[in-house]
Homo-oligomer: A and B are copies of this chain.
Amino acid sequence: MAQKVKLSTIADSLGLSTATVSLALRDSPLVAEVTRERIKCAARDLGYIYNRRAASLRTSRSGIVGVCVHDIMNPFFGEILKSVENELDRQRQTFILCNHHDDLAKQRSFVDTLLQLGADGLILSPAIGTPASDIRLPEENDLPVTLIARTVEGSGVLGFRGDDSYGMGLAVDHLVALGHRRIAMIGGTALTSTGRDREAGYLAALERAGIEFRPEWRIEGPRNRHSGFDAAATFLQIDNRPTAAACFSDLVALGFMYGLSRAGLRPGVDIAVTGYDDIDEAAIATPPLCTVSNGQSEVGRRAAEALLARLAGQPAADETILITPELRVRQSSDYNWPD
C-alpha cells in the first residue's frame, strides 16, 4: 500500500520550503517556471495528486454537494438549481450535478460516486420508482439527503415542493371563472407525485364547479415542449372539443401553444391555455402564458438551507414542506386580459 506523500516530503526531496512547493503546485508565478516544473515532476513521481485525495481523509468535510434531477435542461429545475447554487456558493460548497433521466441505476451510480468521494450531502429530485431504501442508504452512510420537487413515502428525510394539488386548482378555478365548462388537462404522469397531485387538483376543481369529468379530456404523458406540441393534434380530435386546456407545466403549455398555432388556432382567443411553474419565458411568450408560480427559488433556497443545517449537526426531519403556489393571470387564458 502506498505511503502518504505530504508537501513536506516533496519539499525535503528537493531541498525547498513547503510554502514554495505549495505555491508551485498551484502554478503561482511567484515561483520561477524552471523550479515549478522541477517541483511538479517530483510531485508526480511521488504520486502527490493521488494523495491530495488522501488528504481529504483527514477532514470530515469534502466541500462537495451533489444535486441529481431527472433533467437539468428543464428550466423548472434550472431555476431551482440557480437558487441552490446561490446558497451553496455562499458556503463555498462545490456543486456537482447529474441527470438521472428517471433511470434508477443512474441515480444509484451517482449516489455511489458521492459516497466514494465523501461528499457532504445530496439534493435529490428522486427518479420515478425510487424505493425509500435508496434514500435511506446514503443517509445511513453519513450522506444527508434533502428531496426537492418530488417526494418518496417512508424515506424519512426532509423534502420541499410546491402544493401541486392546490396550484392546479387555482388554474382550473380561473378557467371555470372565465366561463369554461369543457377543460382538458394536458401532460404529466401518475408515476410521479407531481403528476398525481396536479391531476388530483384538476379533478377536484372540476368537481367544485359541478363539472362531470370526461376521460377523453385527460391527455396523459407530455412533460416537455415537443410532446406538448404533439398533444395539440390529439386535443384537436377530442369529440365536442374542450375550450380550455390546463397544462402540466409551462414547457408543455408552450409546446401546446406552438401546436395550436401550427393548426391555425390562436391560444388565448380560440383556446384558453394555462401552464404551471412560471418559468422566466412565460411572461415574454406569444401570447404571455397564464400560469401558476411554483416557488422554484424558494424550494431551491430552503432545500439548500436545510442541507447546510444538517451539515451543521441538525438531525434529519421526516417531513415534506409544501410551498404555496400563486396564479399569474396572463393573456393565454384570455386574450382580453390587459397585458
A76 → B minimal CB distance (Å): 10
Contact A49 B142 (CB under 8 A): yes
Contact bitstring A252-295, B, C-beta under 8 A = 1, else 0: 00010111011000000000000000001100111000000000
A182 at the interface (CB under 8 A from B): no
Contact B117 A97 (CB under 8 A): no
- Of A53-61, A184-192, A207-215, the one contacting chain B is A53-61
Contact A141 B97 (CB under 8 A): no
> Of A1, A116, A118, A259, which is in contact with the most chain B CB atoms at under 10 Å from its CB?
A116
| CB-defined contacts of A259 to chain B, threshold 8 Å | 284
Contact B118 A49 (CB under 8 A): yes
Give the docked Cα–Cα distance between A118 and B284 (Å). Answer: 44
Give the docked Cα–Cα distance between A25 and B255 (Å). Answer: 45
A234 at the interface (CB under 8 A from B): no
- Of A8-16, A107-115, A308-316, the one contacting chain B is A107-115
A216 → B minimal CB distance (Å): 24
Contact B50 A281 (CB under 8 A): no
Contact B96 A96 (CB under 8 A): yes
Contact bitstring A316-328, B, C-beta under 8 A = 1, else 0: 0000000000000
| CB-defined contacts of A196 to chain B, threshold 8 Å | none
Q: Residue on B with the closest CB to A134?
A: B27
Give the docked Cα–Cα distance between A284 and B255 (Å). Answer: 8
Interface residues of A in 80-125 (CB under 8 A from B): 81, 85, 94-99, 109-110, 113, 115-118
A64 at the interface (CB under 8 A from B): yes
Give the docked Cα–Cα distance between A49 and B141 (Å). Answer: 7
A232 → B minimal CB distance (Å): 10
A31 at the interface (CB under 8 A from B): no
A72 at the interface (CB under 8 A from B): yes
A interface majority secondary structure: helix
How many chain A residues sit at the interface, stated as a range, is 35 or more
Interface residues of A in 31-61 (CB under 8 A from B): 40, 44, 49-54, 56-58
| CB-defined contacts of A229 to chain B, threshold 8 Å | 284
Give the docked Cα–Cα distance between A115 and B27 (Å). Answer: 13
Q: Residue on B with the closest CB to A109?
A: B94
| CB-defined contacts of A75 to chain B, threshold 8 Å | 73
Give the docked Cα–Cα distance between A43 and B94 (Å). Answer: 27
Interface residues of A in 128-185 (CB under 8 A from B): 133, 137, 140-142
Give the docked Cα–Cα distance between A283 and B262 (Å). Answer: 11
A241 at the interface (CB under 8 A from B): no
A280 → B minimal CB distance (Å): 6
Looking at the complex, which one of B44, B97, B225, B261 makes contact with A286 (CB distance below 8 Å)? B261
Residue pairs across A and B with Cβ atoms less than 8 A apart, 13 shown, are: A1-B58, A40-B140, A44-B141, A44-B142, A53-B53, A53-B116, A53-B117, A54-B57, A63-B113, A72-B73, A96-B98, A97-B97, A261-B286
A27-B133, A49-B141, A73-B78 known, 16 other contacts, Cβ within 8 Å: A1-B58, A49-B115, A53-B117, A56-B116, A72-B73, A72-B78, A73-B73, A94-B98, A94-B110, A94-B113, A96-B113, A117-B117, A225-B284, A226-B281, A258-B285, A262-B284
